[in-house]
Structure 1
């Protein structure tokens, strides 16, 4: 099955194309090397033959036919010329001198040719001889040549070696391509199998890693991280749905109870007015919840990033403190603003105001009765730093990772006004501004650190949840 998928895969087809192209290039290179080598070796042999032909003609020019016959005799007797062939015949083709029995049948009167000469002593194969022929002024024909059998064997070996190398490279390349393609198809099939398992059984499946730390392991790790993120988001969606259902049940149940009671009793203007007022208040609570969800979703889609401007963080914090001053006095809480007057930051003024307002509101609600909430803005090392600290009960460390989820509320806050969306909005604003959030113990109370990485600006926001 895997082999069939390997042979059908596009990777294997691409590998075959690459092998074919590479094989063609290698073949052209070896052909060039072969023909260059053969031409070079044959040219050296031809130059030696031409030189010997010139020497014999010079001898004829100096002393006539007898000098040529004498020189041919000396050449035949010299062992260093054992691979040479000589033949001198008169116009009637009678042999005058040489080591051939007669003029070769396929040899022209002048020019180059090749023929198989009988071996001396007789051997299994006649040697290949390359000759140069010509006619002397008196009509005699002169043949000078060399045994090129060794050259022929050499070129044959080069040709065989080239073919063997090309075939070997093709076999190795094909084997390597099949191996690589099988490995690639195997990893892809592993991912496909996991994907099918996820579709049928759920998000608890993960792509297995082989520990090779190669690109396929990195792809698998990224996909597994994506699945982890999807599983987390799905869990948050389920939790948000459960929390919405839980938070809507109470006001909707109250509204239904009031309406049913009013339906079964006589009309009374004063009672009906009170019923309508209470119902409107409950509806306002539900509508506010959905408005908060919509606002968080809008922020998370980064649709408002075009509204970023250079703002004064201290001025925004001052407006928040002024807004919540009356609420703090009602709870006998001292709300203070300290720090620098100018703390520049690039961001969305309205969103920053909402985030700071939610943190200050939480600090007042969940702080200690008669306690203090301190808002501090200052410039520190080229960064904008803002903190909101309270001295309330704080948040347990085990809950730090959960309080920014939508509708999540601590047990001690379950029966206080609110819907658990305030810190979710803060988290969305922080994400839009490229910020990170950290909860820390204020001993007593809580400090939420919110670092805005906007250029060189950093803002810290602390508050209770």
Structure 2
């Protein structure tokens, strides 16, 4: 049970950061100590060797200048001083016999046979080696020199004192490592808490959003680090999500309103036909009405499907080279009578070289939607301008009407599904025309834009850009 409760705690990021900080601090302290320990060891060894070298030169010169008897008298006079020192001094004759020997108190215990064997291996004028002591892990450092008369002066010194100093340093390090580990743990806790506090704020905000509070935002501080940038991006994403959710709610309201009318009519006519005793002609009219209203519903749903396919680019476009002016003329043939009925003057400024790589069927529907909007919102006696502009790499199509215009705050909303401005409520429509236009044009890697008002506070200019190269 304890391990089960411990596992989630161990895998928390705060725990990992705390442990990582502690380990880094401990490892760095260990590395620093190892470096210092190596330097101190090297320095002590160099110091010990330096003492032996200087003493060896001093004693060799004394023996060679004053003789061995003087050297013996020298140690007799300074016996007390030399007894307290840690130097072992031995003079060997040419045949290996010991002519003089001096040992400190206490005397290091080592194998004399091993020492003689090592001496016999070195025939140089000066030599240096080390041999282990019989007890402990210490060693005896040996330096020597062959004198002019063939005798050999051997100096030895135990490294026990140096070993004690190094062992003291090791013990000091292990005791110092405990507060270092504690400091590392506390520092890791502080670091993890301060570092992860923005993440906790994100988690708390997400929990509130999960409970339904879409207006919740993560508090932003004054720092400019990556976590603050993450909070800003998270808040922007929440803004978009809230707008999308609100837009969906509004869209479903509009969708229910737009579908309710044809469905109600369809049901009403069907109910009348079923409950009344009419003639064949009345039944035919009822079926005709049901057909027309069901066709409106199917058309509405089909446009929604087309928009989704265009936005997701799930349907492959049938791209071909097509003159936009030709498509405009074809659609105008269908709308010409409608414009004449409202006495709307249509001015066409079509370039003869306005070709682009497009799907003719979809772009024709785009042009039809733009002309349909221009016809709806241009008052009787008004004017509509259709213009194509040929460019090196693209073609621009503009449709300008003289209607009431669109408020600036609605310029970004008119492309949304089912959005209808207050000015368009009186006109029948599904609120999908401009959404379809934007989706299809962007599927062609083109651009859409709006300018309103155009002149004297009235009019709307719709502009689309289509590429010459697919």
Match of 1:228 in 2: 239
Alignment of 1:279 with 2:282, yes or no, is no
| 1:49 lines up with 2:52 in the alignment | yes
Query: Structure 2, unaligned stretches of length 5 or more?
Result: 1-6, 116-128
Shift of the alpha carbon at 1:299? 1.7
**Shift in alpha-carbon separation, 1:16–1:312, aligned structure 2, 3 A:** farther
Alignment check: 8 A CA contact 1:315 1:342 kept:
no
| Partner deviation per Cα, 1:164-219 (whole Å, 9 max, x = no partner) | 88667655543332222223443333222222222223312222223323222222
Q: TM-score, normalised by structure 1?
A: 0.75
* Aligned position for 1:462: none
Deviation (angstroms), 1:38: 1.4
Residue 447 in 1 paired to residue 460 in 2?
yes
2:25 is aligned with 1:13: no
Deviations 1:296-325 (Å, cap 9, x if unpaired)? 222222223655566544444344334433
SS at match of 1:358: helix
- Give the deviation of 1:441 after TM superposition: 1.0
1:393-442 superposed Cα distances (whole Å, 9 cap, x missing partner): 32344544443333333445434332222122123234433635333212
| Cα separation, 1, equivalents of 2:230 and 2:64 | 86
- State the SS of the aligned residue for 2:287: helix
**Map 1:188-203 → 2, pairs under 5 A:** 188-203=199-214
Of the three residues 176, 186, 192, the one matched with 2:197 is 186
Residue among 264, 270, 280 paired with 2:281: 270
Quick one: distance in 1 between partners of 2:208 and 2:222? 22
Higher alpha-carbon deviation: 200-209 or 49-58: 49-58
CA distance in 2, matches of 1:271, 1:215: 72
Task: Report the CA distance shift for 1:88/1:294 in structure 2 as closer, same or farther (over 3 A).
Answer: closer
| Residue 405 of structure 2, aligned match among 389, 394, 404 | 394
Whether contact under 8 Å (2:52, 2:143) holds in the other structure is no
* RMSD of Structure 2 on Structure 1 (CA): 4.7
Alignment match, 2:118: none
Distance 1:276 1:112, change over 3 A: closer
Contact persistence 1:87–1:103 (CA under 8 A) = no
Structure 1 pair 161/315, CA: closer, same or farther in 2 (3 Å)? farther
Q: Please tell me whether the aligned partners of residues 318 and 337 of structure 1 are also in contact (alpha carbons under 8 angstroms).
A: no
Asked if the contact 1:87/1:95 (under 8 Å) is kept, the reply is no
The separation in 2 between residues aligned to 1:287 and 1:277, in whole angstroms, is 15
Helix, strand or coil: the match of 1:374? strand
* Matched residue SS, 1:441: coil
Q: Contact (CA 8 Å) 2:369, 2:434: kept in 1 or not?
A: yes
Match runs of 1:228-267 below 5 Å: 228-267=239-278
* Contact preservation (8 Å) 1:382, 1:456: yes
2:395 equivalent to 1:384: yes
1:125 aligns with none
1:426 aligns with 2:437: yes
361-370 or 394-403: which moved more?
394-403
Alpha-carbon contact 2:307-2:439 (below 8 Å) kept: yes
2:224 maps to which residue?
A: 213
User: d(CA) in 2 for partners of 1:285 and 1:440?
Assistant: 30
Is 1:356 aligned to 2:359, yes or no? no
C-alpha distance in 2, partners of 1:275/1:101?
130
SS at match of 1:342: coil
Residues 367 and 392 in structure 1, CA contact (< 8 A), matched pair in contact too: yes
Q: Distance in 1 between matches of 2:142 and 2:44?
A: 16
5 Å-filtered alignment, 1:101-250, equals 104=107, 106=109, 109=112, 110=115, 132=142, 144=155, 170-250=181-261
Check 1:265–1:129 CA distance in 2 against 1; reply closer, same or farther (3 A cut).
closer
1:290 aligned residue? 301
Alignment deviations for residues 263-304 of structure 1 (CA, whole Å, 9 cap, x no partner): 333230122222222222222222212222222222222223
Residues 446 and 14 of structure 1: CA distance in aligned 2, closer, same or farther (over 3 Å): same
Q: What's the TM-score once normalised by structure 2's chain length?
A: 0.74
Conserved in 2, the CA contact under 8 Å of 1:378 and 1:386?
yes
* Equivalent position of 1:122 in the other structure: none
Gap change, CA 1:133 and 1:209, over 3 Å in 2: closer
Is 2:310 aligned against 1:299?
yes
1:341-372 CA-partner distances (Å, limit 9, x unpaired):
22354554433332222111111222132332
What is residue 416 of structure 1 aligned with on the other side?
427
- Give yes or no for the alignment of 1:435 onto 2:447: yes
